[in-house]
Structure 1
Amino acid sequence: MPCSTLEEAAFFEARAQQSCTFLLTLVYAFLFPNHCRVLRKLPSRIKTTVCTEHSGFQKCCSSCSFKSARTKPRSRAVTKLATLARLGRTSKIFSDPALDVLWSFQDTIFNVIKCMPPAVWSYNWTLRRPIMQSDWDRALRYIYRVRYFSCSPFSFPACVYPTGLFETLRLSLPAPHLFPQLRRLRWMFYTHTFLPPAPFLFTPTLTDISLGAFRTITQLSLLPALAVKCPLLTHVQIIQDVVPGIDPSRIISSFICGLDHVESLKVARLDQKAHDHLSALPRLKTLILTTPDIDASTTPPHFSRTFEPRFTSLCHFTLSSTTSQSILALIPSLSHSPLESLALRDIHPSPDASSVRQIFAALKKWFPRTTLRCINVASEAHLTEAGHGQPEPPAITIKTFRPLFHFTHLTSVKLRPPTGIDVADEDVLALAEAWPQLEHLFLRTRSAAHPPRATLRSLLHLAEHCAKLATLQLIVDASTVPPIERSEHKARILHYALRHWTVGAPSLISSPIQVARFLSGIFPALDGISVYGDDYDEDDDGSDTDMQSWDEVGTALPICHEMREEERFWIRQSQGALIGYSKECIQSARKTQQREWERSLEGSTSGYQIRHLSVEAEGSPQQGLKGS
Structure 2
Amino acid sequence: MHRTLGILEIVENICLRLEESEDGLLRDDGRTDFAALGRTSRIFEGPALNVLWIKQDTLNNLLKCFPPDLWEEVIVSGGRKNKAVRLTRVPQSEDWERLLLYARRIRDLTLRSPPTWLSAPFPVVDVFEAIESHLAAGYLCPNLQSIIWDGGPNSPVFPYVRLFLGPQITRAHLEVSRNASDLSVLSTLAIPYDKLKSFRLGSPLHDMPLIRGPSATLAMKLVHVEHLGLDTLDRAALEHLSGLPSLKSLDLSVTDQQDLGPPSSLTTRSRNPTFPALHTVQFFASSIQFAIEFVNMLSQCPLEDFTLGTDVLASNITMGEFFSALAAGVFHRTLTSLLIHEVDDGVTTTPTPPAGTIGNYIIRGPVLALLFCFSNLTTVHLTTPAGFDIDDTTAGDIARAWPKIRSLELGSCTDTHHPSSMTLRGLRAFATYCENLTYLGITLDASTVSPFDNSPATRISQLRLRSLDVAASPISDSTAVSRFVSGLFPGLETITTLNEWNWADPNDEDDTPQMATARAHYRKWKQVETLIPIIAAIRTEERHWAQMERE
TM-score between both structures, scaled by the size of structure 1: 0.70
Give the whole-Å Cα distance in 2 for the aligned partners of 1:568 and 1:34. Answer: 51
The one-character-per-residue Cα deviations of 1:202-255 (angstroms, maximum 9, x if unpaired) are 121111121114434421234344464454211111113689998744322221
The one-character-per-residue Cα deviations of 1:508-527 (angstroms, maximum 9, x if unpaired) are 23454554554444334433
Give the letter aligned to residue 275 of structure 2.
Answer: F
The one-character-per-residue Cα deviations of 1:236-278 (angstroms, maximum 9, x if unpaired) are 1111368999874432222111111111111123223222221
Partner of 2:330: 367
Asked whether the 8 Å contact 1:473–1:503 carries over to 2, the reply is: yes
Partner of 2:508: none
Asked whether the 8 Å contact 2:211–2:231 carries over to 1, the reply is: no
Higher mean Cα deviation, 150-159 or 261-270?
150-159
Give the whole-Å Cα distance in 2 for the aligned partners of 1:237 and 1:133. Answer: 35
The one-character-per-residue Cα deviations of 1:421-480 (angstroms, maximum 9, x if unpaired) are 121222111111111121221111485674332233222211111122222221223344
Give the whole-Å Cα distance in 2 for the aligned partners of 1:273 and 1:535. Answer: 47
Q: CA deviation at 1:315?
A: 2.0
Q: CA deviation at 1:190?
A: 4.2
Partner of 2:276: 312
Aligned: 1:34 with 2:20: yes
SS at match of 1:155: coil
Asked whether the 8 Å contact 1:384–1:393 carries over to 2, the reply is: no
**TM alignment of 1:334-413, pairs within 5 A:** 334-346=298-310, 348=312, 350-380=313-343, 385=352, 391-394=357-360, 395-413=362-380
SS at match of 2:453: coil
Asked whether the 8 Å contact 1:185–1:210 carries over to 2, the reply is: yes
Q: CA deviation at 1:359?
A: 2.0
TM-score between both structures, scaled by the size of structure 2: 0.78
Aligned pair partner of 1:236 in 182, 195, 199: 199
**TM alignment of 1:423-438, pairs within 5 A:** 423-438=390-405
Partner of 2:411: 444
Q: CA deviation at 1:366?
A: 3.4
Question: Structure 1 residues 163 and 424 mapped into 2: Cα distance closer, same or farther (>3 Å)?
Answer: farther
The one-character-per-residue Cα deviations of 1:138-185 (angstroms, maximum 9, x if unpaired) are 333432332221111243999976434433343345992222222221
Greater fraction helix: 1
Aligned pair partner of 1:465 in 430, 433, 449: 433
Asked whether the 8 Å contact 2:212–2:233 carries over to 1, the reply is: yes
Give the whole-Å Cα distance in 2 for the aligned partners of 1:153 and 1:426. Answer: 54
SS at match of 1:342: strand
Give RMSD over aligned pairs: 4.3
Give the letter aligned to residue 368 of structure 2.
Answer: F
Asked whether the 8 Å contact 2:138–2:163 carries over to 1, the reply is: yes
Give the letter aligned to residue 476 of structure 1.
Answer: L
SS at match of 1:433: helix
Aligned pair partner of 1:523 in 470, 489, 498: 489
**TM alignment of 1:127-526, pairs within 5 A:** 127-155=87-115, 162-172=124-134, 176-196=138-158, 197-226=160-189, 228-229=191-192, 231-240=194-203, 248-291=211-254, 295-298=260-263, 303-306=268-271, 309-346=273-310, 348=312, 350-380=313-343, 385=352, 391-394=357-360, 395-445=362-412, 447=415, 450-490=418-458, 492-504=459-471, 506-512=472-478, 514-526=480-492
Which structure has more RCO (C-alpha within 8 Å, separation ≥ 6)?
Answer: 2
> How many residue pairs align between the two structures?
515
Question: Structure 1 residues 451 and 250 mapped into 2: Cα distance closer, same or farther (>3 Å)?
Answer: closer
Give the whole-Å Cα distance in 2 for the aligned partners of 1:103 and 1:285. Answer: 30
Larger Rg, first or second structure (1 or 2) = 1
Gaps of 5+ in 2: 75-84, 505-510
Partner of 2:52: 102
Asked whether the 8 Å contact 1:341–1:375 carries over to 2, the reply is: yes
Asked whether the 8 Å contact 1:226–1:255 carries over to 2, the reply is: no
Question: Structure 1 residues 274 and 391 mapped into 2: Cα distance closer, same or farther (>3 Å)?
Answer: closer
Asked whether the 8 Å contact 2:59–2:122 carries over to 1, the reply is: no
Q: CA deviation at 1:365?
A: 3.2
Q: CA deviation at 1:195?
A: 3.3
Matched residues, percent identical?
28
Give the whole-Å Cα distance in 2 for the aligned partners of 1:555 and 1:283. Answer: 51
Asked whether the 8 Å contact 2:154–2:177 carries over to 1, the reply is: no
**TM alignment of 1:62-101, pairs within 5 A:** 79-81=29-31, 96-101=46-51
Give the letter aligned to residue 168 of structure 2.
Answer: T
Give the whole-Å Cα distance in 1 for the aligned partners of 2:276 and 2:215. Answer: 23
Question: Structure 1 residues 227 and 390 mapped into 2: Cα distance closer, same or farther (>3 Å)?
Answer: farther
Partner of 1:582: none
Gaps of 5+ in 1: 1-14, 37-56, 67-77, 580-628
The one-character-per-residue Cα deviations of 1:384-411 (angstroms, maximum 9, x if unpaired) are 8566x65535311112221111222222
Q: CA deviation at 1:18?
A: 11
The one-character-per-residue Cα deviations of 1:30-62 (angstroms, maximum 9, x if unpaired) are 8x56159xxxxxxxxxxxxxxxxxxxx99xx9x
Give the letter aligned to residue 122 of structure 1.
Answer: E
Give the whole-Å Cα distance in 1 for the aligned partners of 2:45 and 2:329. Answer: 57
Give the whole-Å Cα distance in 2 for the aligned partners of 1:121 and 1:330. Answer: 52
Asked whether the 8 Å contact 2:106–2:143 carries over to 1, the reply is: yes
Give the whole-Å Cα distance in 2 for the aligned partners of 1:281 and 1:295. Answer: 19
Give the whole-Å Cα distance in 1 for the aligned partners of 2:46 and 2:181. Answer: 41
Asked whether the 8 Å contact 2:87–2:127 carries over to 1, the reply is: no
Asked whether the 8 Å contact 1:188–1:212 carries over to 2, the reply is: yes
